[in-house]
Amino acid sequence: MVQPVLVVQGLGVVPADTPVLRADDLGVLRGDGVFETMHVRPDGRGGVQPWLIGEHLARMARSAARMELALPAEDALRELAAAACAQWPAEAEGALRLVCTRGAEATAATGGPVTCFATVNPIGAATLAARRDGITVTTISLGYPADARTSAPWLLGGVKSLSYAINMASQRWALAQGADDALWVSADGYVLEGPTSTLVWLSGDTLYTVPVETTGILPGTTARHLLDNAGDLGWTAAERMVTPAELAAADGVWLLSSVRGVAELRAIDGATQPSSAHTEKLRAYLGFTNLGY
């Protein structure tokens, strides 16, 4: 059994069950902080590395800037991630979290230190099953029109903050309806994203995702990487708005995220989606096969 890893800025590597937060840490009190989750995979040199770390750190910096949060320098975050990965067994896959909160309430107002740590954990069975077998989803309304967050910066569209209570509640709601995950739909009927994943679909030889700028969804690193390299798979890439009904007619629909990788949508709101011939190709291209688990 692989043991979880914890590295705390200022403390270094500590046992994974070490208490590290003060009771007045704003990350706990307000969900006031940012985080990133990365896939830890073999680096081909006998160790492991976080996949697409540059893209994740860039997004973390953008999230922190939007929240006026003083994130540690990129080098310090890279060191934290590297120290965590150095504790992880070679050739095993894992999930790396980098977390930065605004720090203790008592000191944050006067520019006190942020709280920053990294963890690596094994991949859960449900995640592996979703990769292998695909998932069913239920569409649920996020309550806003698709473009609401673009003109309301306080809604933090596109920011990966620690305030994930709504995301988690959405997934619990979906599970209670008998689905594996949720798919958020805008008040005006467009599909946005999953609570922890980006929607990608194939129509003919064009691979689509939902536009970030016009919707305020989180810019997914996995989907961006795939669409930027769609030519390698013989496809062109495009962004457009889509309705659940249109997805039913697509040649493949997937939810993409850093750790789960590629999860094919097998049913939307109880209606079975035809199985896509391309899922295995996507998994292989993104490096979610032959991981040795």
Report the distance separating Cα 76 and Cα 78, nearest Å: 5
- The distance of closest approach from Cβ of residue 220 to ligand PLP in the complex, given in angstroms and rounded to an integer, is 3
Name which of 49 and 257 has its Cβ closer to ligand PLP: 257
Name which of 104 and 134 has its Cβ closer to ligand PLP: 134
- Give the distance from CA 45 to its chain's centroid: 26
Name which of 227 and 268 has its Cβ closer to ligand PLP: 227
- The distance of closest approach from Cβ of residue 133 to ligand PLP in the complex, given in angstroms and rounded to an integer, is 20
- The distance of closest approach from Cβ of residue 156 to ligand PLP in the complex, given in angstroms and rounded to an integer, is 11
Ramachandran bin of 68, using left for φ above 0, alpha for ψ from -120 to 50, beta for the remaining angles = left
What's the length of the chain? Answer: 293
Report the distance separating Cα 35 and Cα 22, nearest Å: 18
- The distance of closest approach from Cβ of residue 204 to ligand PLP in the complex, given in angstroms and rounded to an integer, is 24
**Read out DSSP for 65-107?**
HHTT--PPPHHHHHHHHHHHHHTSPTT--EEEEEEEE--BHHH
Name which of 134 and 220 has its Cβ closer to ligand PLP: 220
Name which of 8 and 256 has its Cβ closer to ligand PLP: 256
Contact positions toward ligand PLP, by CB under 6 A? 37, 193, 195-198, 218, 220-223, 256-258
Written as one letter, the residue type at 46 is G
3-state DSSP assignment of residue 138: strand
Name which of 31 and 274 has its Cβ closer to ligand PLP: 31
- The distance of closest approach from Cβ of residue 148 to ligand PLP in the complex, given in angstroms and rounded to an integer, is 16
CA dihedral 22, 76, 165, 37 (to 10 degrees): -140
- The distance of closest approach from Cβ of residue 195 to ligand PLP in the complex, given in angstroms and rounded to an integer, is 6
- The distance of closest approach from Cβ of residue 269 to ligand PLP in the complex, given in angstroms and rounded to an integer, is 20
Given a contact cutoff of 8 angstroms between Cβ atoms, the answer to whether 248 and 118 are in contact is no
CA dihedral 58, 279, 129, 38 (to 10 degrees): -10
Name which of 9 and 257 has its Cβ closer to ligand PLP: 257
Q: Where are the beta strands (DSSP E) in the chain?
A: 5-8, 12-14, 33-42, 48-50, 94-101, 115-121, 135-141, 181-185, 198-203, 206-209, 236-239, 253-257, 261-268, 271-272
